[in-house]
Structure 1
Amino acid sequence: MSAADETLAEPQDLEDARYLLHDPREIARVLQSLIEHRALISAHVMPGGLPCPTALLDVELDGEEGTVLIDGNHQEAVNQRIAGAHHLTCVSQLDRIRIQFRLRGLTRVEHEGRVAFVAPLPESVLKLQRRELYRLPLVPGPVVTVQVPALRADDPPLQARVLDLSGGGLALSVREPDEPRFRAREILAGCQLCLPEGDPLPVQLEVCHLSRQEPLAGATLRAGCRFVDLSAYAEKQILQYIFRVERQRNARERRAI
């Protein structure tokens, strides 16, 4: 996988206050821009992740409340999946900025003789520059860990494996007994990011979400975190490490061809 590759990630996996829009008026403006530019929407039916291309047809805002109208699919089976979905994860791009949001509570309607779906205005919209988007997957691959200070002085620090890494944050593999340490919005101060080369880097993390994952070395939880007040030195070391691993992977792929 190269930095140019883009894999689907749930919005909460990338949650960062710098890039999330919560104001309904701002959200409506962004979605309206997608309509005006006739941007293609890559929608993924969740659960399952079934991909289905679509487009935004209309956005209406009344005070703090609003609705979104999206095009249906030419396959009736897909429309039925959409109607029964928990939510749609929608991804698009506008002026090289990735736009990502969730649509919940979809209701099937007819629009100009075609199947369409109406949903409440998304609670948030994620806008990410391409350089902020890329995350380096580390499983399988080199072992990178984060040492989290213990809650009590007589307890050992917690060691958590890093599942993926970017300049803005990381995801950790967490065991069930350690779940209380990773509640959403929890600030983890005094952590140490341990890369395979060099000294541990002092980092502070904010937990953005906690979700289930396939078991990895006994851990079944995934904690998405963002860096808080990351030093310029630490950011440089992290980005250099990402670029170095990516170059090594690309070289191996070229040799395998």
Structure 2
Amino acid sequence: MQANQYNAELENWHDFEVESRKEIIGLLRSIGEKNQLIRMLVHGEADVCVTSILEVDADNNSVILDCSINPEQNQRVVGAKALSYETTLDKIRILFSSERVEKCTFEGAPAFKIPLPASLIRLQRREYYRMNTPVSNPVRAVIPLPAELGGGSSSFPLADISCGGIAILDNKLLLGDSIGKKYEDCRIDLPEVGTVVTSLQIRNMIDLTLLNNKSNRRLGCQFVDMPRGALNAVQRYITKLERERNARIAGLG
């Protein structure tokens, strides 16, 4: 996962943010005690380091992490301006970040030290589970456009779907730079399930360069005030996609 995608995901799940210092310390200590591996993503690079928590030092507001056996990778980590971390604890996904990493020693061995996070994201599987939608015959969202964008409506292919929202592809850049903007009465046609109507709020934007050098724009959209019946339809569609994917995997096995 690239850094900008990771940041977009953090923004997507701000509703699941934990800001209690006591709770953050407790979660990080549990992760360390259970020896859970942590993916450390160096921002700005396709560079992932696997680490673990050695100690949570509440008195000094710091967390001690294991460092890599690769000295060059350790140097890149220390030189990074920002890093993101991802792990799981009892099937709950934990995300946090830091602006810096310092070298230190722990029990006589080299280690990393980061500030105790001021907040982290805690997600249960049902809250973050998302499925890629078909590429060959894409699901589409029809979004009414306001007068300043020309009026009428336009259809956008989906990239993925979850119970929290969708990602759409805006290759013609029709929606512009619209982070935070809310679109009412959007229609999503879910094959074999039905049509759902909901408000969508644009939460993040990523500009992509495709292999043919054409550009595309991926917009992360959050469902807003979605009716329960529509949410149930989305869940049924995700289950359908998962069943089809499992059938394909079984066929290849």
- With normalisation by structure 1, the TM-score equals 0.81
The question of 1:162 aligning with 2:163 is answered no
Alignment-mate amino acid for residue 54 of structure 2 = L
**1:166-181 equivalent positions in 2, closer than 5 A:** 166-174=162-170, 175-180=172-177
Asked if structure 2 preserves the Cα contact closer than 8 Å seen for 1:16 and 1:226, the reply is no
1:198/1:41 Cα in 2 relative to 1: closer, same or farther (>3 Å)? Answer: closer
Alpha-carbon distance in structure 2 between the residues aligned to 1:121 and 1:212: 32
**Who is 2:252 aligned against?**
256
1:134 to 129, 137, 142: 129
2-structure distance, mates of 1:201, 1:191: 8
Cα distance in 2 for partners of 1:68, 1:243 equals 39
Give the Cα–Cα distance (whole angstroms) in 1 for the partners of residues 8 and 23 of structure 2: 19
Q: Which residue does the alignment assign to 1:56? A: 53
The one-letter code matched in structure 2 to 1:243 is T
How many residue pairs match? The answer is 248
- Deviations along 1:54-112, one digit per CA (max 9) or x if unpaired, are 112344558xx944332211221221221233433312111221111222222223333
Q: 1:236/1:20 Cα in 2 relative to 1: closer, same or farther (>3 Å)? A: same
Q: Determine helix, strand or coil for the equivalent of 2:147.
A: coil
Q: Distance in 2 between matches of 1:160 and 1:216?
A: 20
- Which residue of the partner structure matches residue 223 of structure 2? 227
Q: Percent identity?
A: 29
Q: Structure 1 residue 209 and structure 2 residue 204: aligned?
A: yes
Other structure's SS at 2:151 match: coil
**Unpaired stretches in structure 1, ≥5 consecutive residues:** 1-7
Question: Equivalent residues in 2 for 1:231-242 (5 A)?
Answer: 231-242=227-238
Do the aligned residues in 2 keep the contact of 1:11 with 1:126 (CA within 8 Å)?
A: no
- Structure 1 residues 188 and 22: CA distance shift in structure 2, 3 A: farther
- CA apart distance, 1:198: 5.2
Aligned partner letter, 1:163 = A
1:18 corresponds to: 15
Distance 2:58 2:136 in 1: 46
Deviations 1:203-232 (A, max 9, x none): 122322222323499652222222122212
- Quote the residue 2:26 is aligned against: 29
Give the whole-Å Cα distance in 1 for the aligned partners of 2:140 and 2:117. 34
Give the 5 Å matches for 1:179-194: 179-180=176-177, 182-183=178-179, 185-194=180-189
Aligned ranges 1:102-117 → 2 under 5 Å: 102-117=97-112
Alpha-carbon distance change, 237 to 126 in structure 1, aligned in 2, over 3 angstroms? same
Contact 1:193 1:202 in 2 (8 A): yes
Q: Distance in 1 between matches of 2:23 and 2:53?
A: 16
The normalised TM-score by structure 2 is: 0.82
